[in-house]
Amino acid sequence: MQKKNKISLKNYNSFGVDVISSNFNIANSEQEIIDFIKKNNIDEPIILGGGTNILFKNNIDRNILKIQIKGIELINETEDYVIVSVGAGEVWNDFVNWTINNDYGGLENLTLIPGNVGSAPIQNIGAYGAELKDTFENCRAISVETGLLRIFNNTECKFSYRSSIFKEKLRNKYIISNVTFKLSKKNHQINFSYKPLEEIIKNNHIFNPTIKDISESVNKIRSSKLPDPKLIGNCGSFFKNPIIDKIDYKKLCEKEKNVPFYKTSENKIKIPAAWLIEKCGYKGIRDGNTGTHDKHALIIVNYGNASGYEIFEFSQKIKNDVLRKFNILLEEEVNIIDK
Ligand code: EPU
């Protein structure tokens, strides 16, 4: 276990917010996590992965535990599929690239999603018609209260849109140390039904796309409209896309033209939060050191020196305006840490 007192978290969060942590710990193995919990069991730590979905509002006195467990291991194989076990501290996109290079299918649509492998199940990461839950076998996780290890299978994780048991009932109760995936070796299920992906595949005259084609296309789409956190601080989508009742959707359509939507069930409709935010006049606007991205209204950016508090205040302005105009309450996708 590495321990640091008083360090800046600027390089540990993709918003690039410069706050100070007075108790920063790095775990390189499962055993180090267990030992840490047994020693510090009164104080619930803040668990840090890649720091790509977190907003620190203030300096942090609480223990921070950064999970840096590495390793990609093939643990089982048949003619049709492989089972791969991955350390929580692996960078998600490095792992996706590894699967593409080995021609293992299932994660290609999730190319270039920021963050680490261990955080991926918590919010059931998803993009371009795929979600983590489609390939997830199980994960190993350590109880923050007891230090005991438990294995969660796919059903036990209770995955849903951008959520899982780790965001709901067991929020902050477990630390994921390792994730296992089931990936295809042949007859890959190529999925390019998501409109922008289908367009790019067609425009490039690709008739039978491989997983590599899908991965490269997703890469192009994401790089063209999502800002690179290395160049400009951000955490991707700041809010979730709200899911509303069909009746409310109809009412909305009476007031607004061409409301984009995805049907999620018989009576529920998901509306892009980006559209609601753009309609409130927020796309590409700057407010002090923060603002929304000019190519995507759902992404709040740090122009350089924004404090966590400033970004938070700006996000709440957006939230209030959307509520006032559309009577829809946006819910943060990013984890907000007070102190
Ligand atoms: N739109 C606007 N204005 C904008 C941008 C988008 O009106 O500035 C509307 C358009 O109608 C567009 C629709 O929103 O068709 C959807 O936009 P997009 O395809 O970019 O997807 P999204 O719903 O905003 C979700 C995820 C992204 C993921 C993309 C692609 C959430 C909260 N976000 O965004 O995930 O990359 O789909 O699948 O579900 C993230 O979680 O950090 C993230 C970036």
Question: 14, 177, 237, 307: which is the annotated catalytic residue?
Answer: 237
- The answer to whether the CB of 110 is under 6 A from ligand 1 is no
Contacts of 214 (CB under 8 A, 6+ apart): 108, 109, 111, 190, 191, 192, 197, 201
Examine the domain organization and report whether 237 and 302 are in the same domain: yes
Indicate the residue among 67, 92, 122 that finishes a domain: 67
Examine the domain organization and report whether 218 and 76 are in the same domain: yes
Indicate the residue among 224, 255, 278 that finishes a domain: 224
Distance from the CA of 35 to the center of ligand 1, in angstroms?
40
CA distance 86 to 143: 19
Distance from the CA of 298 to the center of ligand 1, in angstroms?
7
Distance from the CA of 246 to the center of ligand 1, in angstroms?
20
Examine the domain organization and report whether 197 and 109 are in the same domain: yes
Q: What is the model's pLDDT at position 42?
A: 63
Q: Whose CA is nearest to atom 7 of ligand 1?
A: 275
Examine the domain organization and report whether 176 and 252 are in the same domain: no
Q: What is the model's pLDDT at position 339?
A: 85
Q: Whose CA is nearest to atom 38 of ligand 1?
A: 127
Residue 333 designated active-site: yes
Examine the domain organization and report whether 197 and 124 are in the same domain: yes
Atom of ligand 1 nearest to the CA of 278: 3
Question: 62, 160, 162, 332: which is the annotated catalytic residue?
Answer: 162
CA distance 48 to 296: 26
pLDDT block averages, 10 residues each, the chain of length 339: 93 97 97 93 86 96 96 98 98 98 98 97 96 98 95 98 96 96 97 94 95 97 93 97 96 95 93 98 97 97 96 98 98 94
Q: What Cα–Cα distance (Å) separates residue 324 from each residue in 257, 282, 292, 318, 319? A: 18, 14, 19, 10, 9
Examine the domain organization and report whether 296 and 271 are in the same domain: yes
Quick one: which H or E segment has residue 24?
A: strand 24-27
Q: What is the model's pLDDT at position 40?
A: 80
Atom of ligand 1 nearest to the CA of 225: 20
CATH number, position 323: 3.90.78.10
- Written as one letter, the residue type at 68 is Q
Distance from the CA of 297 to the center of ligand 1, in angstroms?
9
Indicate the residue among 204, 224, 244 that finishes a domain: 224
Distance from the CA of 236 to the center of ligand 1, in angstroms?
9
Q: What is the model's pLDDT at position 213?
A: 97
Q: What is the model's pLDDT at position 23?
A: 94
Q: Whose CA is nearest to atom 33 of ligand 1?
A: 237
How many domains is the chain built from? 3
- The Cβ of residue 244 has, within 10 Å, a number of other Cβ atoms equal to 20
- The answer to whether the CB of 270 is under 6 A from ligand 1 is no
Atom of ligand 1 nearest to the CA of 260: 11
- The answer to whether the CB of 260 is under 6 A from ligand 1 is yes
CATH number, position 14: 3.30.43.10
Examine the domain organization and report whether 77 and 209 are in the same domain: yes
Q: Whose CA is nearest to atom 5 of ligand 1?
A: 296
- The answer to whether the CB of 333 is under 6 A from ligand 1 is yes
251-275 core/surface letters (b: 16 or more CB in 10 A; e: else): ebeeeeeebebeeeeeeebbbbbbb
Examine the domain organization and report whether 149 and 125 are in the same domain: yes
Contacts of 256 (CB under 8 A, 6+ apart): 279
Examine the domain organization and report whether 163 and 307 are in the same domain: no
The pick from 195, 237, 241, 262 for probing ligand 1's pocket by mutation, whose C-beta has the most ligand atoms within 8 angstroms, reads: 237
CA distance 73 to 181: 11
Domain span including residue 55: 2-67
- The answer to whether the CB of 238 is under 6 A from ligand 1 is no
Q: What is the model's pLDDT at position 81?
A: 98
Residue 162 designated active-site: yes
Q: What is the model's pLDDT at position 258?
A: 94
Distance from the CA of 272 to the center of ligand 1, in angstroms?
6
Distance from the CA of 274 to the center of ligand 1, in angstroms?
6
Residue 8 designated active-site: no
Examine the domain organization and report whether 158 and 57 are in the same domain: no
Q: What is the model's pLDDT at position 44?
A: 82
Examine the domain organization and report whether 154 and 84 are in the same domain: yes
Examine the domain organization and report whether 179 and 286 are in the same domain: no
Atom of ligand 1 nearest to the CA of 279: 7
Is the whole-model pTM more than 0.75? yes
CATH number, position 175: 3.30.465.10
